[in-house]
């Protein structure tokens, strides 16, 4: 298979994780299907109080071995009415991976199990959080909310009597854990911009149990929490007019994930490595713009649209990756992609690339990342 997507990938400039994220997900679902009866029986037995703490610990270890087929860094909760939740737990990059895992759920498990990509909100239901020696019900955690019309995100202030004498690190951790459990991890990630601590309960503050409904009413107009991979923001930069190395010429772009951009420009590999640890690969496509050939923005948008249809479709369970963003530079245009399955992406996108009259390069989304040509044009 040409252009670095086959077995000889290591000779083409990009060292693809082996196995890929998609392959790991398939292995997890095969494991789950094989052990479904045991998992279901344990949940029922635990509901009836039939197991000791040691039994539960052994069972969690067993479940961890299955989830670990994807990554040992993914946390989870299981229980209720056959509910299995993959938790983000502060690892924001998982917002861009967990929906794919859930979307690959085998048909024969649907209707019997509910799988969630991130912790869900309680719908206003109260509960008590005990953490680091502090304890409080959600009804005694008070917040206020401010937002700009059309901004899509809210700024919060909070006060918790139970941690009022704690340092900022403890107080903020207590609040964030509580908030994500009450409103859900996706809503917290996509709709909360900034959180500040208040020294006392302030006028206009309300119980944390009301926050989910208020965010949905005022920001989402009653809709469900948006998919983080579809929540884009615009950015501007002082791009080098001379072009230089890839991405040094970028002057405007959009992205759904801040960390991947910041890590790239800061020369840090943590974001790239986090994805690679799950078998996924963040990359960007780039090519030289030529106004004489076509309007550069129209050209980029046309390629983006074609790739979304061919391989990156939102909600498509067979998609080979997800679009993270796009950018325009003085010398080049860019499309940012998180690949779940490089080989499948190549098969799906090959007709699109082969039809282009200009050469396109794919580069790992990190400084000094490896590169491969994706077509033979030019």
Considering the domain architecture, whether residues 173 and 310 belong to the same structural domain is answered as no
**Residue 10 maps to a domain:** no
Considering the domain architecture, whether residues 245 and 329 belong to the same structural domain is answered as yes
Considering the domain architecture, whether residues 347 and 297 belong to the same structural domain is answered as yes
**Residue 6 maps to a domain:** no
Domain boundary among 117, 148, 174: 117
- The pLDDT of 91-98, averaged and rounded, is 96
Position 202 confidence tier, pLDDT thresholds 50, 70, 90: very high
Q: Can you give the residue range of the structural domain that contains 335?
A: 228-373
Q: What three-state secondary structure class fits 127?
A: coil
Residue pLDDT, tens place only, 124-153: 999 999 998 999 999 999 999 998 776 779
pLDDT of residue 150: 67
Strands in 90-181 per DSSP E: 114-117, 128-131, 134-137, 141-147, 154-160
CA distance 269 to 203: 44
Q: Which two tokens stand for residue 213?
A: 């409904």
Strands in 124-275 per DSSP E: 128-131, 134-137, 141-147, 154-160, 192-197, 206-207, 233-236, 250-255
Residue pLDDT, tens place only, 56-85: 899 999 999 999 999 999 999 998 889 999
Domain boundary among 62, 86, 117: 117
Task: Identify the residue with better confidence: 94 or 48.
Answer: 94
Considering the domain architecture, whether residues 35 and 95 belong to the same structural domain is answered as yes
DSSP at 225? P
Q: What three-state secondary structure class fits 230?
A: helix
CA distance 28 to 67: 6
Considering the domain architecture, whether residues 97 and 176 belong to the same structural domain is answered as no
Q: Domains in the chain: how many in total?
A: 3
Considering the domain architecture, whether residues 174 and 145 belong to the same structural domain is answered as yes
Considering the domain architecture, whether residues 176 and 254 belong to the same structural domain is answered as no
This prediction has a pTM of: 0.91
Considering the domain architecture, whether residues 242 and 368 belong to the same structural domain is answered as yes
| Whether the Cβ atoms of residue 190 and residue 226 lie closer than 8 Å to each other | yes
Considering the domain architecture, whether residues 135 and 113 belong to the same structural domain is answered as no
Domain boundary among 165, 189, 218: 218
pLDDT of residue 52: 81
| Whether the Cβ atoms of residue 270 and residue 277 lie closer than 8 Å to each other | no
**Residue 223 maps to a domain:** no
Residue pLDDT, tens place only, 10-49: 335 898 999 999 999 999 999 999 999 999 998 888 787 7
Considering the domain architecture, whether residues 346 and 244 belong to the same structural domain is answered as yes
229 has pLDDT over 70: yes
Q: Is the dihedral of CA 31, 33, 35, 36 positive or negative?
A: positive
Residue of 113, 17, 110 lying closest to 317 (CA atoms):
110
DSSP at 220? S
Instruction: Quote the radius of gyration of the chain (alpha carbons, Å).
Output: 23
**Residue 212 maps to a domain:** yes
Considering the domain architecture, whether residues 341 and 250 belong to the same structural domain is answered as yes
pLDDT of residue 5: 46
**Residue 15 maps to a domain:** no
pLDDT of residue 224: 74
Q: Which two tokens stand for residue 75?
A: 């946390």
Considering the domain architecture, whether residues 138 and 96 belong to the same structural domain is answered as no
Q: Which two tokens stand for residue 84?
A: 């299995």
Q: Which two tokens stand for residue 197?
A: 């601590």
Number of C-beta neighbours around residue 219 at 10 A: 22
**Residue 12 maps to a domain:** no
């Amino acid at each position: 298979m040409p252009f670095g997507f086959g077995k000889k990938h290591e000779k083409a400039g990009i060292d693809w994780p082996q196995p890929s994220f998609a392959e790991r997900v398939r292995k997890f679902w095969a494991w789950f299907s094989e052990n479904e009866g045991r998992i279901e029986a344990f949940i029922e037995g635990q509901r009836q109080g039939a197991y000791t703490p040691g039994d539960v610990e052994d069972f969690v270890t067993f479940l961890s071995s299955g989830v670990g087929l994807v990554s040992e860094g993914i946390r989870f909760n299981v229980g209720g009415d056959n509910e299995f939740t993959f938790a983000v737990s502060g690892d924001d990059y998982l917002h861009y991976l967990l929906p794919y895992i859930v979307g690959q759920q085998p048909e024969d498990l649907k209707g019997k199990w509910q799988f969630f990509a991130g912790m869900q909100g309680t719908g206003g239901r109260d509960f008590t959080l005990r953490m680091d020696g502090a304890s409080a019900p959600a009804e005694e955690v008070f917040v206020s909310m401010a937002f700009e019309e059309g901004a899509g995100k809210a700024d919060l202030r909070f006060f918790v009597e139970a941690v009022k004498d704690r340092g900022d690190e403890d107080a903020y951790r207590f609040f964030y854990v509580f908030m994500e459990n009450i409103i859900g991890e996706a809503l917290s990630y996509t709709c909360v911009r900034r959180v500040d601590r208040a020294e006392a309960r302030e006028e206009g503050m309300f119980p944390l149990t009301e926050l989910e409904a208020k965010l949905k009413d005022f920001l989402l107009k009653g809709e469900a929490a948006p998919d983080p991979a579809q929540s884009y923001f615009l950015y501007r930069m002082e791009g080098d007019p001379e072009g230089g190395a890839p991405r040094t010429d970028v002057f405007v772009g959009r992205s759904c994930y801040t960390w991947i951009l910041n890590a790239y420009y800061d020369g840090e590999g943590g974001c790239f490595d986090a994805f690679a640890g799950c078998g996924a690969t963040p990359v960007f496509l780039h090519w030289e713009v030529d106004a004489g050939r076509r309007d550069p923005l129209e050209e980029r948008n046309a390629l983006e649209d074609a790739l979304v249809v061919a391989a990156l479709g939102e909600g498509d369970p067979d998609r080979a990756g997800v679009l993270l963003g796009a950018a325009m530079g003085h010398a080049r245009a860019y499309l940012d992609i998180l690949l779940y399955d490089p080989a499948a992406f190549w098969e799906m996108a090959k007709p699109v690339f082969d039809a282009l009259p200009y050469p396109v390069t794919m580069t790992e989304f990190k400084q000094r990342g490896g590169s491969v040509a994706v077509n033979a044009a030019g």
